[in-house]
Every structure is written in structure tokens, then in C-alpha cells.
Amino acid sequence: MKKIGIICKPDRPEPPKILKDLVPWLLERGIEVYLEAETASFEGVTSLPRAEMPSVADLMVVLGGDGTMLGTARLVAEKGIPVLGVNLGGLGYITEVYMDEIFTALDKILKGECPTEERMMLQARIMRGGEAIASYTALNDVAINKGSVARIIDLEISVDNTYVTMFKSDGAIVATPTGSTAYSLSAGGPILYPTIHAIVLTPISPHTLSNRPLVLPEDVRIEMSLKSQSEGVLLSLDGQVVFTLMTGDTVEIKKSSHNAILLRAGGRDHFDILRTKLKWGER
């Protein structure tokens, strides 16, 4: 890997301090460095708009948190570019490398000694009047929720053209295994091992308490149709991209043809991360 792009979380004090040492370290090893123009600059290094980074980089380094990682994963998934996440705060679920580990991690990567892990992504298509009006990719989840509306909404759920049920609820979440520890978990969904081949469908505060989360095969197509006359119902992708739905809209969700490729340079297994984040074993 000879070309590395670096994306930083905006308005954080840590990235400039890290870049001061990191950029010369990479240049000394013959690496071409590209910085995201919106958040960082460095003398003698090319700065590019974020949207152009996938066209030049062999590897992306994220200085931020899980949110910055999610945006970067969506950005580079189609190109199959691996991503290394460096967490600027507490231990993240997908940004597992600490700031003081970044040089050790990159040394392993440049030597070809760092394992990668492919994570399933979702493709969501919004259908209105029988036509596709928008399409998005998500690494964590695709969620429909009522926004600021006080009343519950009606979502008709189908899987592979087979009617499942009508969720009378605050909404629903379709999550990947990676996203099972995010919004879905807070709504009562199960934790899936990150590389398992499955999707979880979780209702949000269902009116009928017997509506429980469903774990489905990864190759199904899920359809969620908004049936109630409600305003302000929102579709969100990874909690970052938001689209306003109208009555009669259908959101079709299936496995994306692209995977996120994460570099596992921190040496921590998934249970280490869960114990730390969820405080398992503590009293």
C-alpha cells in the first residue's frame, strides 16, 4: 500500500497533533499521503475533497470515532479500500486502535502482517409510486422512525414478497451484525457476531409487545411500507443520512454487493470490546 488517505473527525484537537508526527513518518517510508481538505492540511501533502479520496487511496486511516468510520466505510466500500480506525476517545466498536498504537498498527499494515475483516453492508432503495427515487448504502443499519410525531406509525413488513406482519410502533430497524451493537441493541435487539451471515429486524417500542426482533438470513429482501397517514416519518442510514418518507413509500433493504473492509490492527477480539463497552462482569 503506497497511497494512504487520512480523514479526521472535525473540530477535534487531537488530529493536528497526530498528523504532526504521522505525516513525516509515512513520507519517510515512501508513502503518498492525501489529507481530507475539509478538516486538515499539511505542507507538501496533497489535500482533496472527501468525495475524491477513494479515487487515489489504497488505504484509508480514520482519526475519529465510530461515526467517522461509518461515513468513511460508505465512501470507500465500492472501491474495496480497507479502513483503519483510530479512536480519539474511548474504545470504539469499529475504531479499535488507540492513538498511542497508531505507528505500531501502521507498521504491521505496511509489512503485510495485519489481518482484515469483511463486514456486510446493506443497500436500501426507496420506492414511491412504483419507481425507485433514491438508493443508499449503510454499514450499521437502516431505520424508519416517527421523528417528532407523537403517535405510533404503521409499517407493513414483508420478507421476500411474503407478508410478515404490521408493526404498530415507533418504527423499525434493519441492522447488520456490525450494527447489532448500535441502535438495534438499544431497541432490544440481539447482539450478532460481526462476521455472521445474518440480518436483524427490530421493532422500535412496538404497541404489541409480542412483536419481537427477528434474525433473518443475509440473502433475504426486506420491505417496509409506510401505511399510516403520518408526517415527519424519517428513514435514516447509519444515523447519519436522513430521508423523509411519505405515506405509501416502501423501503426495500437487502445485502449490499459491497463489503466494508476493516483492518484489525489493535489485537483485540470482539469479546474484549464487548466486555469493555458493555461493562460485562462488573458489579
Q: Are strands 32-36 and 46-48 parallel, antiparallel or unpaired?
A: parallel
Measure the CA–CA gap between 261 and 258, rounded to whole angstroms. Answer: 9
Residue from 11, 21, 66, 141 carrying the catalytic annotation: 66
Q: Which three cell numbers stand for residue 105?
A: 498498527
Q: What are phi and psi of 18, to 5 degrees?
A: -65, -45
- Scanning the chain, the segments in alpha helix (DSSP H) are 14-28, 66-76, 102-110, 183-186, 270-278
Q: Which three cell numbers stand for residue 247?
A: 405515506
Tell which residue, 52, 46, 17, has the closest CA to residue 33. 46
User: Torsion angle, CA of 263/267/273/274, rounded to 10 degrees?
Assistant: 100
CA 60 to chain centre: 15
Greatest C-alpha distance within the chain: 61
Known catalytic residue at 66: yes
Q: Which residues contact 90 (CB under 8 A, 6 or more apart)?
A: none
Strands of 49-151 (E only): list them. Answer: 59-64, 83-87, 116-128, 131-138, 141-145
Burial class (CB in 10 A: 0-12, 13-18, 19+), 259: middle
CA angle 228, 233, 236 (to 5 degrees): 135
- What is the set of active-site residues? 66
